[in-house]
Amino acid sequence: MGKITVRTIKKLKENNEKFSMLTAYDYSTAKYIDQAGIDIILIGDSLAMVALGYENTNNIGIDEMAIFTKAVARGAKSAMIVTDMPFMSYTIDIPEALHNIGNMIKCGANAVKLEGCNDYILELVKRCTQMGVPVMGHIGFTPQSLNVIGGHIIQGKNVDATMQLLEQAKKLEQAGAFSVVLEMVPEESAEYISKNLDISTISCGAGRYCDGFVMVCDDLFGKYSEFTPKFARKYANMQELITTSTQKYIEDIKNNNYPNENEVYKLAPQDAAELEKYTNKCLC
Ligand code: KIV
């Protein structure tokens, strides 16, 4: 399969075809989900919580995002790679933001995701697009503003709020964004926004009628158990797999079942016989 680009995403919307997006943070996960056919891999700042054990997504810095972006880029061949710009790495001023965004592209990202839609963000989206960096917007519930919003609160809950979200999405589209994540938005609102936008919408708890859908891989694989949003669907139980396989490993060691005959390196027979002669001799 060829590389997924902004053109592929645009075509999918034109043809009314859905696309898939999943987070990944390491080389082997990126490799397997890429081979499985995922369209977009997001190095989400959710990695702060699910892979690094921080309390929220605001605890991660640009240097850490760089390490994980490089790992994912080494594993994924076809999927479009999008790096989430972390808290305060793009909001202080445009030169610093462009410097940090440029570094993520040098680490292997094909695009970046930016949260929010004020005049500053719109100017940044414009500048990135002019510089050759595709931008994915992110509106609705924006986790980096958790402390200002005051909780995980559904956004766009009435007609006025829906119209405001559509206006934001349209401004992002005009500024050059190629897609926009809608997080924690009622599906009727998300459907209305999707139908009135040329760029693709991506549902993150925004119902069934967006153009693309995203999940955090640790939720999908059943690996992260501290917090599971309503819209996360668990397709596997890796937590159980990790626990039971570790318990079996410990048991095998205790019962002298690990390693077995096929899992060891052996001396050549003549060297083994030679060594045998020393077996009962003390070398000290
Ligand atoms: O950080 C993340 O994983 C995200 C997605 C869930 C949209 O921003």
Q: Is residue 112 part of a domain?
A: yes
For ligand 1, the distance from its centroid to the CA atom of residue 204, given in whole angstroms, is 8
CA–centroid distance, 84 to ligand 1, in Å, is: 8
> Can you list the alpha helix ranges (DSSP code H) found in 47-93?
47-50, 62-75
Q: Nearest Cα to 87, choosing from 44, 135, 125, 127?
A: 44
Does 133 reside within a domain? yes
Q: Nearest C-alpha to atom 4 of ligand 1 is from which residue?
A: 44
In this structure, are 138 and 25 located in the same domain? yes
54 and 157 housed in the same domain? yes
* Tokens representing residue 147 in the block: 């402390």
pLDDT given for residue 282 in this prediction: 62
Specify whether 170 is located in the same domain as 62: yes
- Considering the domain architecture, whether residues 205 and 248 belong to the same structural domain is answered as no
3-state DSSP assignment of residue 146: helix
Task: Kindly give the number of the ligand 1 atom that is closest to the alpha carbon of 143.
Answer: 8
Q: Same domain for 179 and 255?
A: no
Q: Please indicate whether residue 204, judged by its CB atom, sits closer than 6 Å to ligand 1.
A: yes
Domain of 254?
242-283
**Into how many domains does the chain fold?**
2
Longest dimension (CA), the chain: 88
- CATH number for 143: 3.20.20.60
Asked if 270 and 191 sit in the same domain, the reply is no
- Distance from the CA of 267 to the center of ligand 1, in angstroms? 52
> 181 C-alpha to center of ligand 1: Å?
9
Q: How far apart are CA 47 and CA 65, in angstroms?
A: 9
108, 149: one domain: yes
Q: Residues 233-254: pLDDT tens digits?
A: 999 999 999 999 999 999 999 9
Residue 86, ligand 1, Cβ within 6 A: no
Residues of the chain predicted below pLDDT 70: 280-284
Q: Are residues 102 and 177 in the same domain?
A: yes
Do 80 and 151 reside in the same domain of the chain? Answer: yes
For residue 107, tell me if it sits in a domain.
Answer: yes
Q: Is residue 225 part of a domain?
A: yes
Residues 155 and 131 in one domain: yes
User: Ligand 1 within 6 A of 46 CB?
Assistant: yes
Nearest CA to ligand 1 atom 3: 44
* Residue among 183, 188, 240, 251 flagged as catalytic: 183
Residue with tokens 């996360």: 232
Q: Residue 165 domain-assigned?
A: yes
The answer to whether the beta carbons of residues 134 and 111 sit under 8 Å apart is: yes
* 261 carries an active-site annotation: no
Rounded to two decimals, the pTM is 0.95
Looking from the CA of residue 113, the nearest atom of ligand 1 is 8
| Rounded CA separation 168/118 (Å) | 8
- Are residues 187 and 156 both part of a single domain? yes
Residue 1 lies in a domain: no
Q: Which of 131, 138, 136 is nearest to 106 (CA)?
A: 131
- Asked if residue 44 and residue 25 are part of one domain, the reply reads yes
* Residue 90 counted as domain residue: yes
User: What is the CB-side half-sphere exposure of residue 73 using CA atoms within 13 A?
Assistant: 16
Q: Where are the beta strands (DSSP E) in the chain?
A: 19-23, 40-43, 80-84, 111-115, 135-140, 179-183, 200-204, 212-215
